[in-house]
Structure 1
Amino acid sequence: MKKLINHPEQVVRDMIEGVVLAHPDRLKNVPDTSVLIRADAPVRGKVALVSGGGSGHEPAHAGYVGKGMLDGAVCGEVFTSPTPDQVLAAIKAVDSGEGVLLVIKNYTGDVMNFEMAAELAEAEGIQVTKVIVNDDVAVENSTYTTGRRGIAGTVFVHKIAGAQAENGASLQDVERVALKVIENVRSMGMALTSCTVPAAGKPGFSIPEDEMEIGMGIHGEPGTHRAKIAEADSVASQLLSLVINDMGLQEGDRVAVMINSLGATPQMELYVLNKTVGQTLKSRGIQVHKTYVGEYMTSLEMAGCSISVLRLDEELAELLDADADTLGWK
């Protein structure tokens, strides 16, 4: 294993301390926790948003803490759900009295631990509601989930629900908008290589040099099938067609698109993929309101990508375009 770390069991702690040292004006660490919150938290008069999960997906989730997005992020160990006490610490640190929305990716451990933390917070008089993101169209059930997995489309939930909260909306209205995004976002990914969890010290699986895995999850969960390496046009078409068909996109629809690197895929290749995505949507009469290309939800050093499509109406488009200032989204 070749990684720029100190001790595998300390990698998340070291990362958190490094983030705060780099951005003390933006983020602070809740003492004795793995929680990062806005430097100005709690923000008076505003519903707070908390998300999180296992580390290794950076910039998710701490990279989306800031004005217009999340108020707090809980950093679990690599690919491991954070514990309920850590989530509870985040809720208590960001609550201003207006309530807290938890944005949870659909993995069994995340759902269980965030829900337990919500119950504990409510017992202390904090109003908490939650949404569960399940945008991955690849498989219905997988290694870590019942139902579809939550992947890069979660970032659109952070952005749009965060904008609604920044506008001073009620907890119920922020939840409504978050659910609206979840209903209208779909994603599909693929991988060219595995990745190495520091504590394991070796790749979790192997993909032959001449093969790729379609539908692989962000923790290395199996996808739909393995296939021979194909050109970017073919890969983009496969992923996009599954997303379009699942969403039932039609001529005249307006969308936002995210071409996401899983960690080791360079921007050059992402833009090559986006050429096919953009041309295909245009040929179908689907209007692309905005395209995002880069690293939004990674899987350590895995080579591969995901494509997310969000169907927009006027409300969602306005909130997507609203100002945000975080490390991972500007």
Structure 2
Amino acid sequence: MKKIINAPENYVDDMLKGIYAAHSDEVKYTADDLRCYCRAEKKDGKVAIITGGGSGHLPLFLGYVGDGLIDGCGVGGVFQSPSPEQIYNIAKEVEAGAGVLYLYGNYTGDIMTFDMATDLCDMDDIECKSIVGADDVNSHKDPATRRGVAGIYFMFKAAGARADEGGTLDEVLAAAQLAKDNTRTVGFALTPCIIPEVGHANFELKENEMAMGMGIHGEPGVWNGPLKTSHEIAEESLNTLLGDMPLAEGEEVSILINGLGATSIEELYILSNDVTEILHSKGIKIYRTIVGEYATSMEMAGASISICKMNDEMKKYMDHPVKTPFICQK
């Protein structure tokens, strides 16, 4: 294992110390707990949005904390959930008089954490509502049990924009639901990753082999086989996406081409071009294309493709400016 670290057991806290040192004007921690990550300032009267999950996925989840997006994030160990107490302490810090929306990925440990945090907040009369991202089409036929992966980006954008506009808790929840209902993702891995405290790969792929549908924690995909070309990957992925969320000719989408941690930007743009050409060949319009790392898995090579169907409301949310230490859109 080759990593730039001090001690594996300090991996997450050392990372957080570095972020706070570099961006103290934008983010802070509360309750004397480095893993209770919050915006440096809060806006009175605004719905507070809190996310959380395991480390190892930057910029997901804490990278979305900032202007126009999320207000706080519970930071767990690598691929581990934060604690209910951490989410509760964050809620007490960022709640600004309009209630709290919990917005996080559809994973059992995280669901338990946020449900317990809600119970703690209820005792303090802090109103909380929850919604989970569940966009990974290949993870399950039932949409309710799908994993939340990079497509949660669109939920963060919609909820964050509506909260920034002064929406009520129900309106912010509805914005997140709109994005969720219209977002689908397919991902694939080319290599495993190494969890620092474990020190070895979390699964195995042979040379020139890829895994279609692999999860961001190494969850099994739908097939392992020979590495395909970018165009072949794009074609199979879009067939899956459009099979689950059919789009008519003339409809419009935004697309997110997301790298999993060790895929070059050059490769992502090759994939983006293939996705664009295939969608255009079907008469589907593209409102916005986002390319880069938005939900990673340590140093895993691979990518994901997310599509979000646009209407006038979603376009407004997509155009809303955001700024965090990791993401900036004017």
* Interval of TM-score (by shorter of Structure 1 and Structure 2): over 0.9
Q: Is residue 191 from structure 1 mapped to residue 192 from structure 2 by the alignment?
A: no
Q: Is residue 98 from structure 1 mapped to residue 91 from structure 2 by the alignment?
A: no
CA distance in 2, matches of 1:7, 1:97: 41
CA contact (8 A) 1:137 1:188 kept: yes
User: Displacement of 1:135 after TM fit?
Assistant: 0.2
User: Displacement of 1:244 after TM fit?
Assistant: 1.4
Q: CA RMSD in A?
A: 1.4
- 1:261-307 C-alpha deviation (Å, 9 max, x unpaired): 00000000000001110011111111100000000000000000000
User: Displacement of 1:61 after TM fit?
Assistant: 1.4
Counterpart mapping for 1:276-315 below 5 A: 276-315=274-313
- Match of 1:93, SS state, is helix
Q: Is residue 246 from structure 1 mapped to residue 244 from structure 2 by the alignment?
A: yes
- 1:5-64 C-alpha deviation (Å, 9 max, x unpaired): 1111111111111101000111011143202111113x2010010001000000111111
Percent identity, aligned pairs only, is 43
- 1:204-237 C-alpha deviation (Å, 9 max, x unpaired): 1110012100000000100001111111111111
- Match of 1:138, SS state, is helix
Unaligned runs of 5+ in 1: none
CA distance in 1, matches of 2:3, 2:206: 22
CA distance in 1, matches of 2:31, 2:86: 11
Q: 1:13 to 1:323 in 2, by over 3 A?
A: same
CA distance in 2, matches of 1:297, 1:16: 17
CA contact (8 A) 1:16 1:29 kept: no
Q: 1:174 to 1:146 in 2, by over 3 A?
A: closer
CA distance in 1, matches of 2:246, 2:233: 20
Q: Is residue 80 from structure 1 mapped to residue 94 from structure 2 by the alignment?
A: no
TM-score after normalising by structure 1: 0.97
CA distance in 2, matches of 1:165, 1:3: 39
Q: Which one of 204, 207, 213 corresponds to residue 206 of structure 1?
A: 204
For residue 39 of structure 2, what is the aligned residue in structure 1? 38
CA distance in 1, matches of 2:265, 2:223: 25
Q: 1:141 to 1:89 in 2, by over 3 A?
A: farther
- Match of 1:251, SS state, is coil
For residue 159 of structure 2, what is the aligned residue in structure 1? 161
CA distance in 1, matches of 2:119, 2:244: 34
- Match of 1:186, SS state, is strand
For residue 255 of structure 2, what is the aligned residue in structure 1? 257
- Match of 1:218, SS state, is coil
CA distance in 2, matches of 1:278, 1:328: 26
CA distance in 1, matches of 2:155, 2:139: 21
Aligned length in residues: 327
For residue 151 of structure 1, what is the aligned residue in structure 2? 149
Unaligned runs of 5+ in 2: none
